[in-house]
Amino acid sequence: MLFNSFEFLIFFLPATLALFFLSARYLGNEAAIGVLVLCSLGFYSWWNPVYLLLILFSMAFNFQVGKRLGRRSHKGLLTFGITLNLGLLAYYKYANFFVSNVSTLLDTHWSLSDILLPLAISFFTFQQIAYLVDSHRGITREYKFLHYALFVSFFPQLIAGPIVHHRDMLPQFMRTTRFCLDSNHFAIGLSIFAIGLFKKTVLADGVAPYANPVFNAVDNGQTVDFFTAWGGALAYSFQLYFDFSGYSDMAIGLARMFGIVLPLNFYSPYKAASITEFWRRWHITLSHFLRDYVYIALGGNRRGRTRRFTNLMTTMLLGGLWHGAGWNFIIWGGLHGLYLILHQIWQALLSKLSLKTSGSVYSALAWLVTMLCVVVGWVFFRATTFEGAIGLLQSMTGLHGFTLPQGIMARLGDAGIFLQSLGMQVALGGGQDFVLTWLWITVLLIIVLVMPNVQDMFNWVRCSLRDQHFDTTDSVWPMLSRVRKLQWKASMGWATAGAACLALGFLTLFQVSEFLYFQF
């Protein structure tokens, strides 16, 4: 069930809110928690009821292992628990990929029947592995299955994150006071949800038609020109940005309606002026999981520079593989591993030479290089074939020529004639798509760089949980940090803006839409 669907907005959400708060009022908190678990499992099973058995088995198994680890730490039991979790994930997500590659390598005809990927298996698997490790370390423990089931299945964060920790979530549900519908929480949550819905349905889905045809063309072996290639790559970069940003906002808003504050998972990553900062702002909870349970577990930076770089590359390769069973995802992860290694080398060089990195010019250049690296990475992330990704990158370097629509070239006058003398080609038609593509890209770039994000607008009402050391300063140009920050407040103006976002979101419910991160 999608957040931007009639089933969810008209039926599921109102019914779940009503059942939860009525149960709390007349039957108590435990009954309300039970109702919320049942509703969340219904939300999950809407896509494919068969896989409800899988998540129930996963919860029951990890609850029992975690309970025993909480009572007595046992490394062998922890290893067994992690192995089984990863084994299930490997079977459903990577078995076909592994068998296909082995078959190709050995020149055989081995194959498996298609295995349908269970919804959100990567998210609830990582979430429960973190719980087992935290139980082993004595950080958390849980002795009631109902509470544990809520921790895993709470529907706002179940499908695409954020990856939450037991110690952050359960204390909020275990409050001593009775659950009551709080008008302040509801107003905040609904406002955040409305903004997220607008981002997803109007911005992300609005720019998608200018990205998908380009990637479909290159995956089918066609070549595109320089401007079409860059238009498609940038359009997808913004589609993914607002898709994930919108989902993150909607998850935070939905949880807040129930009085729950979720972890910060997205904080203006396209304002980052380094690849390290990008990963501190993009999919924050996944970045923290990879850092805490993979990178540090491998030794982190404690065993010399070579080992540090190896651990970093291994972590990012696994991060790429987590996103999907395909070589393009592995290449994407490897690219970001290389980016992070080069950034550390660059930082060490600057420190050794005592060079200053302050100032608008350096910040602008650093941001431009960072964005270029990110967009190149997204090409592999989006393309379904390696050949398609390479073909698009070749076009982005100009190897397949430069073309402008005839209507635009004619309006350039003498400048158009000069461009043709330099080798610029002219295409019949396509002027409208060209203009709309670059208009969307320009508008979305301005929104990304200038507009404050939801975390900033709702900061004073504790929009989300976040690391106390998290830096919320903008790293791009100093002038952008002086743009007036919009602060949410319970006012008619904000109510009108929220209603407009909801109305525009509802108007898009008839179109085909999906969250890009649902596939992970």
Contact 153, 62 (CB under 8 A): no
Cα–Cα separations (whole angstroms), residue 426 to 158, 392, 403: 49, 20, 6
Rg of the chain in Å (alpha carbons): 24
Q: Classify 425 as helix, strand or coil.
A: strand
| Chain-centre distance for alpha carbon 163 | 11
Copy the structure tokens of residue 270: 């396209």
Buried b (16+ CB within 10 A) or exposed e, 306-333: eebbbbbbebbbbbbbbbbbbbbbbbbb
343 included as an active-site residue: no
- For residues 515 and 517, what is the distance between their CA atoms, to the nearest angstrom? 5
Q: Name residue 303's amino acid.
A: R
147, 165, 288, 323: which one is catalytic? 323
**Around Cβ 225, how many Cβ atoms within 10 Å?**
18
Cross-strand pairs, 263: 465
- For residues 132 and 138, what is the distance between their CA atoms, to the nearest angstrom? 10
Copy the structure tokens of residue 334: 């490897």
Q: Is the peptide bond before 162 cis (omega within 30 degrees of 0)?
A: yes
Helix, strand, coil percent values for the chain (each to nearest 5): 70, 0, 30
Our CA angle for 233, 235, 239, nearest 5°, is: 115
Contact 130, 289 (CB under 8 A): yes
Q: Classify 263 as helix, strand or coil.
A: strand
Q: What is the 3-state secondary structure (H, E, C) of 185-242?
A: HHHHHHHHHHHHHHHHHHHHHHHHHHCHHHHHHHHCCCCCCHHHHHHHHHHHHHHHHH
Active-site positions read 323
